[in-house]
Amino acid sequence: MSFVFEVPNKVVFGCGVSEQVVEWGERLNGRSVMVVCDPGVKAAGIADPLLQKLITAFGAVCCFHEVTPDPDIALVNRMTEFAKAKKTDLLIAIGGGSAIDATKAVRVLLSEGGTITDYEGMDKITKTTVPMIAIPTTSGTGSEVTSFSIVSDHARKRKMVLAGRAIAADVALVDPLLTLSMPQSVTASTGMDAMTHAIEAALSTIATPLTDLNAYKAIALIYQYLPKVVRSPEDIEARSQVMLGSLLAGIAFNSAILGLAHAIAHPLGVVCGLPHGLANAIVLPEVVAFNGRAVPEKVIAIGRAIGLAGDQLSVDTVVDALTHLNREIGIPSLSQAGITEEQFDEIAELTLLEVSLFTNPAPVTLHDVKAVLTAVSQ
């Protein structure tokens, strides 16, 4: 047995740990700080207490709060110019995957120069000279603990994957209290995004004993606690468990990579504008059914993780359980989300170009993708 397992950064987890942002900023020798968030985080006031702490400690603090969902090349370029103008030497991302991924990309350009397309692919980023702190406000993307950044390239209708240890945030402050203001629909879709990360890591062709430990624990936590959070948004214990599940899922897929669900979700985002977590949630049960034909034993292990046993344990019952979970937390079908059959050909063709198919446990054809899309449209 041999494998490689990587955790690229320091993680501080717990209620209230985001208040340590000044301490960690000082440890990283920050002087001119740029805080990055999206308009929703700004409007909800989530970043305000942290901004005040940073201003008191550092003085020179600016805030870029115009991050859009699925950040693209133009946004990254605009953020980079803003950071250069402010002579930024410490980046702090507060938000979901879009804010954190965009900040990672800016970090690369500040450190290495060039254009962001220069760094598409694996290990093209050799160094980062500007430190970064990631403070997630959703329980879903795992971006705070991964060596990846996803940037949309609209000209090619692709989501670029930038990958390498140097791109990861230096420190992740993972504070469940920051998720309290999430709308119910965002809680549901981001939670299922994390579930998809965990399940695809478990099914991956390069899964290892260490990725499995994290993936199956994440599956168990999210399956048990996500419905509780959706029903009772103020349940901080349930929120903590879902956020822990998201964190563990991020650690798992950082080494095991992903699969068909993400390969479909990326073009659903670029072509159709479907939010990433929602796209993953919608296609996940049918992708598990598809992959279950190749690796039924892995799908049955997922069933054990969510509490199925005995006669209940089969690929079909696992798929049924995930379908029921989607319905319970309000995930719509693909057609209810506004995606039409006329878009399937383009989505399927772009899916086959996605790098995450390399670690999917079953080979995928154009017909297979269209069959998944048709099934989840019902």
The Cα–Cα gap between 338 and 327 comes to 17
In the three-class reduction of DSSP (H, G, I as helix; E, B as strand; rest coil), residue 93 is classed as strand
Q: 280 near 258, Cβ under 8 Å? A: no
Q: In the predicted model, what is the mean pLDDT of residues 181-195? A: 95
331: DSSP letter: P
The answer to whether position 293 is within a domain reads yes
Helices (H), the chain: 21-27, 39-44, 48-58, 73-85, 97-112, 184-203, 209-231, 236-256, 260-272, 276-292, 296-305, 315-328, 344-351, 366-375
Residue 176: HSE in the Cβ half-sphere, 13 Å Cα cutoff:
20
Q: Are residues 166 and 206 in the same domain?
A: no
Phi, psi of 13 (to 5 degrees): -120, 140
Q: In the predicted model, what is the mean pLDDT of residues 230-235? A: 96
In the three-class reduction of DSSP (H, G, I as helix; E, B as strand; rest coil), residue 364 is classed as coil
Q: Are residues 162 and 17 in the same domain?
A: yes
The answer to whether position 4 is within a domain reads no
Q: Are residues 64 and 109 in the same domain?
A: yes
Q: Are residues 192 and 325 in the same domain?
A: yes
> What pLDDT sits at residue 139?
94
Q: Are residues 274 and 167 in the same domain?
A: no
The Cα–Cα gap between 180 and 187 comes to 9
Model confidence at 2, pLDDT cuts 50, 70, 90, reads confident
Q: In the predicted model, what is the mean pLDDT of residues 174-193? A: 95
Model confidence at 1, pLDDT cuts 50, 70, 90, reads confident
Angle CA(171)–CA(188)–CA(362) in degrees, nearest 5?
A: 80
> What pLDDT sits at residue 343?
95
90: DSSP letter: E
Q: Are residues 120 and 259 in the same domain?
A: no
Model confidence at 127, pLDDT cuts 50, 70, 90, reads confident
Q: Which of 178, 213, 240 is the last residue of a domain?
A: 178
The answer to whether position 1 is within a domain reads no
Q: Are residues 134 and 241 in the same domain?
A: no
Residue 128 has pLDDT above 90, yes or no: no
Q: Which of 140, 160, 178 is the last residue of a domain?
A: 178
Q: In the predicted model, what is the mean pLDDT of residues 205-227? A: 98
Instruction: Calculate helix-pair angle for 73-85, 97-112, nearest 10 degrees.
Output: 60
Phi, psi of 72 (to 5 degrees): -115, 180
Q: Which of 178, 198, 215 is the last residue of a domain?
A: 178
**Which residue range is the domain that position 233 belongs to?**
185-375
Per the structure, the count of domains in the chain is 2
Residue 273: which CATH number?
A: 1.20.1090.10
> What pLDDT sits at residue 93?
97
Q: Are residues 96 and 57 in the same domain?
A: yes
> What pLDDT sits at residue 241?
98
Residue 4 has pLDDT above 80, yes or no: no
Model confidence at 126, pLDDT cuts 50, 70, 90, reads confident
The closest of 243, 262, 90 to 173, measured between CA atoms, is 243
The answer to whether position 154 is within a domain reads yes
Q: In the predicted model, what is the mean pLDDT of residues 96-100? A: 95
In the three-class reduction of DSSP (H, G, I as helix; E, B as strand; rest coil), residue 124 is classed as coil
Q: How do 33-36 and 90-95 pair as beta strands?
A: parallel
Q: Are residues 210 and 353 in the same domain?
A: yes
Q: With pLDDT > 90 as the criterion, what percentage of the chain qualifies?
A: 90
Q: Are residues 171 and 223 in the same domain?
A: no
Residue 174 has pLDDT above 90, yes or no: yes
The answer to whether position 189 is within a domain reads yes
Q: Are residues 146 and 266 in the same domain?
A: no
> What pLDDT sits at residue 6?
76
Q: Are residues 306 and 281 in the same domain?
A: yes
The Cα–Cα gap between 349 and 367 comes to 10
Max mean pLDDT among 1-5, 255-259, 306-310 falls in: 255-259
> What is the per-residue pLDDT across 58-91, written as a single tens digit (0 to 9) for each?
988 999 999 999 899 999 999 999 999 999 999 9
Residue 132: which CATH number?
A: 3.40.50.1970
> What pLDDT sits at residue 99?
96
Q: 347 near 369, Cβ under 8 Å? A: yes
Model confidence at 33, pLDDT cuts 50, 70, 90, reads very high
> What is the per-residue pLDDT across 354-373, written as a single tens digit (0 to 9) for each?
999 999 999 999 999 999 99
The Cα–Cα gap between 125 and 109 comes to 10
The answer to whether position 2 is within a domain reads no
The answer to whether position 216 is within a domain reads yes
The Cα–Cα gap between 36 and 53 comes to 15
